Amino acid sequence: MGGLTLFDAAVAPSDGALSVWQVTQRARQLVEAGFPRVWVRGEVTGFKAYRSGHWYFTLRDRRAQVRCVMWRSDNERVPAPLDEGLDVFAEAQPTVWEERGEFRLTVRQVIPTSVGGAWQLRLEQAKAALARDGLLDPARKRPLPRFPQRIAVVTSLDGAALRDIVAVARRRWPAIELLVVPARVQGDTAEAELCVALGIVNRLDADLVIVGRGGGSREDLWAFNSERVARAVAAVRAPTVSAVGHETDVALTDLVADVRAPTPSAAAEAAIPDRAALAALVHGLARRLAAGLTGRVELGAQRLDRTGDRLSAVLGTRVERARARVDAAEAALQALSPLRVLARGYAVARDPGGRVLRGVAQFPPGHPFRLTVADGDVPARVEDRT
């Protein structure tokens, strides 16, 4: 049991001592395994940007200091080099740099503590927590229903957001029910009220949920960056649209919702189908329905022409029955104007006395009759059928 138990024999030198490389490597493994990524607050000093693009600096406070490196791939997202003395939050992986035996931080991102930096830090931490739980996974995003009937709206009762959403709903698709679940969207109680309202939404059997507010200052919008509110959005059973009125920043609820809209109006437009577009779609289907039937009936008539006497008697009655059903259907269609196209191409046959001729038996060879078409009558005579 004696000797070296920490390292396997292959890497242990024969004299029983560790090489410097081995001990620093071991130290690095221990530090990285036992020390997950952390946020560190400190003052930047000794900043140097190398030609390679990597940044080297020291973070310090009154009692200690630590060397830091920030690789180019990470510092590219930082708008400017770090000023001497700048107070920052740094997200970093503690490690040991073997070549110098030096304890060091590999910095992934830095946020100045001034100008909302503390908020930014909280946001980044919340984002990381949501990501760990898989809530930011793009595969979680669900499509919105094509024709929602009941839409829940979580917003303030007296904000512009609600008026905008209602206006869009009335314009696009009136056959809709909007259930507004009120919540304050700014101030101390906003976070809790939004969470309660989002919980209520799950008891409403809604097809779709819009949560949001109109534009405002960063402070005003802050409730939508709360991790609790984001988790409440993620827990909504129906598909969600997040609309926090600001074009540039993205709120945490935007990342968690199924769809992100830049404004409440845009959210309503994304969620609610447009009546005019649907009317056109229905109109097109009505035309295809009519064309489909007339095409089929003509096909039947052609087949009838090609068939012998024996079959023609059978098919004849079937076609007549079919015609009667078409007539009945046409009557039902009078209210459906696009289907009047069906009337085109149809003719009614009458005998000289005006009686409608319905069966083959009513057309003896040589018999005269009249065809009524859309714009008038045509005299006609039955040809010799042999």
Partner 1 sequence: MSDPSFQEALERLEAIVRELERTDVDLDRALALFEDGVRQLQVARGLLAKGDAQVKKVLQQADGTLATDDLDV
Residues that bind partner 1 (CB under 8 A): 145-147, 149-150, 152, 157, 162-163, 166, 169-170, 173-182, 196, 200, 203-205, 275, 278-279, 281-282, 285-286, 288-289, 292-293, 295-297, 299-300, 318-319, 322, 325-326, 329, 332-333, 335-336, 339
Q: Specify the residue, 48 or 163, whose C-beta has the smaller distance to partner 1.
A: 163
Beta carbon of residue 272, minimum distance to partner 1 (angstroms, whole number): 9
CA 90 to mean position of chain CA atoms: 33
Q: Specify the residue, 137 or 177, whose C-beta has the smaller distance to partner 1.
A: 177
Q: Specify the residue, 111 or 176, whose C-beta has the smaller distance to partner 1.
A: 176
Q: Specify the residue, 170 or 367, whose C-beta has the smaller distance to partner 1.
A: 170
Give the whole-angstrom CA distance, residue 351 versus residue 367.
9
Q: Specify the residue, 42 or 159, whose C-beta has the smaller distance to partner 1.
A: 159
Beta carbon of residue 265, minimum distance to partner 1 (angstroms, whole number): 14
Q: Six-digit token pair at 287?
A: 């035309």
Q: Specify the residue, 162 or 267, whose C-beta has the smaller distance to partner 1.
A: 162
Give the whole-angstrom CA distance, residue 181 versus residue 183.
7
Beta carbon of residue 286, minimum distance to partner 1 (angstroms, whole number): 6
Backbone phi and psi for residue 291, each to the nearest 5 degrees, phi listed first: -65, -35
CA 385 to mean position of chain CA atoms: 66
The 3-state secondary structure of 279-345, one letter per residue: HHHHHHHHHHHHHHHHHHHHHHHHHHHHCCHHHHHHHHHHHHHHHHHHHHHHHHHHHCHHHHHHHCC
Q: Specify the residue, 129 or 281, whose C-beta has the smaller distance to partner 1.
A: 281
Give the whole-angstrom CA distance, residue 217 versus residue 222.
9
CB 245 within 8 A of CB 161: yes
Q: Specify the residue, 60 or 150, whose C-beta has the smaller distance to partner 1.
A: 150
Beta carbon of residue 289, minimum distance to partner 1 (angstroms, whole number): 4
Q: Which residue has the tokens 């809709």?
A: 176
Q: ∠92-94-96 over CA atoms, to 5°?
A: 140
Please return the burial class of 224, using the count of CB atoms within 10 Å of its CB with bins 0-12, 13-18 and 19+.
buried
Beta carbon of residue 380, minimum distance to partner 1 (angstroms, whole number): 25
Strand-pair partners of 344: none
Beta carbon of residue 60, minimum distance to partner 1 (angstroms, whole number): 52
190: helix, strand or coil: helix
Give the whole-angstrom CA distance, residue 204 versus residue 226.
24
Beta carbon of residue 211, minimum distance to partner 1 (angstroms, whole number): 14
Strand-pair partners of 103: 96
Beta carbon of residue 293, minimum distance to partner 1 (angstroms, whole number): 4
The 3-state secondary structure of 49-69, one letter per residue: ECCCCCEEEEEECCCCEEEEE
